[in-house]
Structure 1
Amino acid sequence: MTLASPQGNTKYTREEEQFLYDYLLDSVQRESPELLLEDFRRLFIEGRGYRDAQVYLALERIVKSRDVELSFYHFFNRCCHILVNRWQMNPQHQPAIPELVAMLENLAPARQGHHSTANHLRQLVKNFTLSDHYIKLQRLARIISSKYSEKNLSSVGTLINRYPYLYDHCLLSDESSQEHQQTVRHIKSKTERRFEVNLSRYVTYKVRLAQLSNSSDFSAEGGRIIQPVKNPTLLSDRELNRALKQYIGTVETGHTYRELSQNFVTQTVYAPTYQAFKDELYEYLVTSADYGKGQFNRKLYDVLQNTLPQCNHQKPSEFLVLRTSSQLLNHLIVESAQKPEHYIFIDMITNMGVTRTVGLLLKLVLMCRKVKPYLDKRLSILFNHYEGFSSDGVPWLVKSLENLQVGFSIHFGKADLSCLKQIRP
């Protein structure tokens, strides 16, 4: 490819961006991560002395283009993800991803008064590290990197690898390429499956211990035969056991959450109007929220009554059910990143406990499964809000996220935990 010479022309800038994309795509398939990291440092961090003059010339023209302050974030983000998407496919290459992110963490500041391409490039890269693009890249590195082990979990942000239901909203943006979306969903699927397997093993271990303790030939010798299995959550064994029984066992009138939701859906098929549906939904939810009978219930009722009142005389539809469920999640958790207040969510946890609060959310998403991505988004807003906080400082959030991971694995995953019912209460 022969690079065009005019500067400041968007057309030529796009051609040069594509030239660099193609160069990186070719390099990442041929070269080792070690060599490519060094090339990346020389090209984008040092900004001079690169071994391929044509590559550096393309980058120089991008840096000197008129709209570089606006376009560089997207361009540089794409360059990073070309490497990341390829490396994550090979477990031996995955450690290069956090190395790439670390390379950007402690950049020397640009030199004031110097107008060289290298200095301008350093400032652009430095500005990139203050962007949402870089935050998402850091989160991805935390998920992949083994150095972010559970022993080093000091802030909420370092927990991101534990919650795959946050990945779509915390790692992707509207600008994410198709390839990067596939990368994130592949990692998400592996993380979900790994947790489900670990949870199944833990439950099986607990069931076998319980059966052995009830056996007449139980002995210390027999107890040592069973290989211990680690609790896969950050909950205590008691908290996890409570969550498992709540989300699998019977909770109301001898029914499980799944049975209650199925019964509700079956009954409301015959609801004559949207108003009648909202009335039944209110009763369905408040049976799980037996605190603050007056204030909490009144607010919940008001939210329902104020949701699409112009449709009250219509027949309930999938759209109306989905819209109603999303409005309830706004009320119960958080409305948006711009309005991050979540007093009701904390109030529910304070009065009902984390396990039952999450149970109420499960009742809602089991009744309307298509609203789950919306629930994931609300939780991502909370995660982003507290990302820099010490995990010890917001135990209610960590326990909520852990309970949700358990609940989602039971009701939306493939883990078979039915053997838990064999344990006597």
Structure 2
Amino acid sequence: MAKSERDHQKVEAAKAVVYIYINHLAYHISPETAVLYFYQLMWDRLTPECLPVRDALTVVIEDEQFKEEQGLQFINRSYYSICNPWHLDNKKRPYLKQIIDRLDREPETESINRTTQALREQWMNFSKGEYGDCLRRQMHLGGHEIFREEDREFRNVLADYLPDYFYLYRSVTRTPDIEQLEQEHSHPEYSGTATKQINRLRESYDAVYEYRNLRQQGVTGIDHPSRLELAEFEKGLDFYYPGRNDSFKSKARTICHKKRRYEKYASYRPQVKEYLMESVELFPARTKSKLTESIDRALVRFDDRTSMDPITSKSLFLGLLDSVLLPVPNTSNILRLERCVGDVGPMNFTGMLLSLVLACPMIRFRLEKKLGYLYRKFEGKSLEGIQWVVDLFEHINLALVMNARKIGYFSLTEPLPDAA
């Protein structure tokens, strides 16, 4: 074995020792003490009565790659090792807040030795970058009513609304390294952010359908669970409802049934185009023309002889999603999106997105990432200047909540909410 490979294995083994120690703090030590020990480790490189962990941390820091991205990811995984378990226990919320709030402190960074100094400098880099931002956003998740009552500070910016948009929970709080880690583990019940996403979805699902049922019973004067105007909310309630005749759900089922595993793409392509064009048919002419061109470009990416297997189907609908929503995440495409939503209205635009996701539920993860990018661009902006974003997010929230069962947000191993 080459020396470089041996060194790499040594560093990875040392990282594992640190992660196990921090995870032990999360589960087996009082949270007050765990907060103290965590920061003694990650700031002062101290571990009370646990020298092997300190030695392991030293190995990690002295690796030449620690000052690069690998060092940031190590710190990120260290935070994950304590924060993720505490996300699963609402009683730990005050201590989770202590852990995350310390990101914003400005302590003296000078240390008496070079190794601890390197740790502190990389910790400060972590705090000031996207890794730290993702952690801060986690304090907006779950514990929804507690957050609202106790410590939610309304600043009249989009970030105030993050707790309500379940579909943003993972995309704005997980960096790619943590996303990959959770995919490798394949145990969503152990993911704190995913668990809070489902909990928030269930709250929204119950609230929306309770409102709908009360309205059908003739009850008046009830608060509606949305920031949309009442008339707009009730239009959306009927528009996205999966049980109505000619619903998005029934149309998606039809297009899915037309697809057969061994059917060739040549025969499926015109059916897909017809399905999507139904969503854009009544759009203003200019917008309709541009969207049609984008959809056509996405549809010609495949050879007509391609078999319509699940992989091809997913790739097809990912391309179609890219064709209508932020094909490349940048400022110019956000401006195009703003114009498009302004032209067709947030409800109609959301209907087009819902058609795509219902036809291929697996693309919801790409949709979440795109919406997460949009959120990050505006999270600190005043609500007065971004009403189109709020209206779009509210419509998307309502559409995804009402169709969550068909889209696949509820696990098959969990009891489903009452059928709507």
The answer to whether structure 1 residue 152 and structure 2 residue 190 are counterparts is no
1:199-227 residue CA offsets vs partner (Å, 9 max, x unmatched): 2222233333xx257xxxxxxxxxxxxxx
Q: How many residues align?
A: 391
| Aligned residue in 2 for 1:304 | 296
1:321-352 residue CA offsets vs partner (Å, 9 max, x unmatched): 33332222112111233687134432332122
Amino acid of the structure 1 residue aligned with 2:230: D
| Cα distance, 1:203–1:261 mapped onto 2, change above 3 Å | same
| Aligned residue in 1 for 2:36 | 38
Amino acid of the structure 1 residue aligned with 2:163: N
Show structure 1 runs of 5+ residues with no match. 1-7, 214-227, 419-425
Q: Work out which of the residue numbers 192, 201, 208 in structure 1 matches 2:201.
A: 192
State the Cα distance separating 1:127 from its structure 2 match.
0.7
Q: Work out which of the residue numbers 361, 385, 389 in structure 2 matches 1:397.
A: 389
| Cα distance, 1:22–1:286 mapped onto 2, change above 3 Å | closer
| Aligned residue in 2 for 1:357 | 349
Amino acid of the structure 2 residue aligned with 1:161: P
Show structure 2 runs of 5+ residues with no match. 1-5, 406-415
| Aligned residue in 1 for 2:84 | 85
State the Cα distance separating 1:128 from its structure 2 match.
0.9
Amino acid of the structure 1 residue aligned with 2:140: R
Q: How does 1:6-405 map to 2 (within 5 A)?
A: 9-45=7-43, 47=44, 51-52=48-49, 54=51, 55-70=53-68, 71-108=70-107, 110-111=109-110, 116-144=114-142, 146-147=146-147, 152=154, 154-176=156-178, 177-178=181-182, 182-183=190-191, 184-208=193-217, 211=218, 230-248=223-241, 255-266=246-257, 274-289=265-280, 290-294=282-286, 296-297=288-289, 299-301=291-293, 303-305=295-297, 307-309=299-301, 311-314=303-306, 316-337=308-329, 341-405=333-397
Q: Is the 8 A contact 1:332 1:344 kept in 2?
A: no
State the Cα distance separating 1:187 from its structure 2 match.
1.8
State the Cα distance separating 1:315 from its structure 2 match.
5.5
1:108-131 residue CA offsets vs partner (Å, 9 max, x unmatched): 3534x9764443332111011133
Q: Is the 8 A contact 1:288 1:356 kept in 2?
A: yes
| Cα distance, 1:201–1:261 mapped onto 2, change above 3 Å | same
Q: Is the 8 A contact 1:142 1:161 kept in 2?
A: yes
2:93 is paired with a residue of what secondary structure? coil
Q: Is the 8 A contact 1:24 1:82 kept in 2?
A: yes
Deviates more, 1:375-384 or 1:169-178: 169-178
Give the aligned CA root-mean-square deviation in angstroms: 3.4
- Share of identical aligned residues, percent? 16
The structure carrying a bigger helix percent of its residues is 2
State the Cα distance separating 1:133 from its structure 2 match.
2.6
